[in-house]
Amino acid sequence: MNVSVFGCGRWGSFITWYLSGNGCKVTEWGRKGSKSLAVLKENGGNEYVELRKGVTLTDDLGAAVKFADIAVVSIKSQALREFAKSAKIFGLDKIPVVLCMKGIEEDTGKRLTEVMIEEGYDKDRLAVWIGPGHIQEFTAGKPNCMVIDGYNKELVRSLADSLRSNLIRFYYGDDVIGSEVGAAAKNVMGIAAGILDGGGFKTLKGPLMARGAREVARLIKAMGGNELSAYGLCHLGDYETTLFSEFSNNRRYGEELYLGKKFTKLAEGVSTAKAMKLLGERYGVDLPITLAVYRIIYENAEPLGELLALFSRSAKTEFSE
């Protein structure tokens, strides 16, 4: 199978590493002038992976699309719409596209497959690849479980079966709304967890996990998805890697935000907090943790005080809406 991976950041390079070691012929694309692509070309790898022989690196978007039987897209979520427009010119909409990304369009509240559909892509050719796992652990041979979800059950099963290995066990997803929203929302919870770490309140990450999953479940249900998805691999199942791991960008962003340090890597939870605030207002869903993170990031609220205020709210039934 010929696969083109679009994106050469940490996840794009990992996907290339993984698929090329799993029997696929892989071309990896990066935009012209990309520093990440330049590093891969110069060193044959980056700080995360060493690329296998036979991998093709290119900044020619048309050539990458033409090569592919299947495309895997792993770029910044807020750049997806423009990428979709550019790649469609070369025929990306004619092949299956797998989004290995976790985010929501911040100005519209659109899920990432919705963005693709709005740009003229057939929903039956779209899938998402989500779930827990860090590159550093995968490359050290530590396995994990992930999910392939989408609108076309046959495509979902085909992708999950063909991409599985001893390193990644894939589950078939059956709730694309819940999978996408849950996968994006866990990054917001990761930022909150990092703030608690920085402030020395690690024990409050237990309540954060329980209440965070319930909060996201309410939103998924209101949007027409299955609220139980919030308790699966897309969200709660990804909490260990996002709320506790030293490798979590979102957790580290929150911790360094509290400590007054500047975090220079991508933390998708920043834009997702803004998008989820919009969705909460649109669907009439109370999202207290999300709103606290939003106020911290966008309104300069005092980080630890904003989160601790959540724990001083009046008592209510645990599983109430």
- Going by the DSSP 8-state scheme, the letter that residue 148 receives in this structure is E
Fold of domain 2-172: Rossmann fold (3.40.50)
pLDDT in tens, 243-264: 999 999 999 999 999 999 988 8
Query: How many Å apart are CA 46 and CA 39, to the nearest integer?
Result: 6
Print burial letters for 210-227: b (CB count within 10 Å at least 16), e (below 16).
Answer: ebbbbbbbbbbbebebbb
Token code pair at residue 131: 């779930």
| 3 in Cβ contact with 72 (< 8 Å) | yes
Structure tokens at 134: 């860090």
Residue 101 binned pLDDT confidence (cut-offs 50, 70, 90): very high
Residue 5 β-bridge partners:
28, 72
Question: Position of tokens 């963005």?
Answer: 115
Global pTM? 0.94
By DSSP bridging, strand 126-130 and strand 144-150 are antiparallel
Q: What is the mean pLDDT of the chain?
A: 95
186 is catalytic: yes
Please report, for the chain, the start and end positions of each structural domain, with discontinuous segments joined by +.
Answer: 2-172, 184-312
CATH of 184-312, one of 1.10.10.10, 1.10.1040.10, 1.10.3720.10, 3.30.479.30: 1.10.1040.10
Q: Which of 35, 66, 123, 186 is catalytic?
A: 186
Average pLDDT of 20-35?
Answer: 96
Query: Are 20 and 52 contacting, i.e. CB atoms less than 8 angstroms apart?
Result: yes
Least confident of 44-53, 286-295, 311-320: 311-320
Residue showing tokens 């996968």: 183
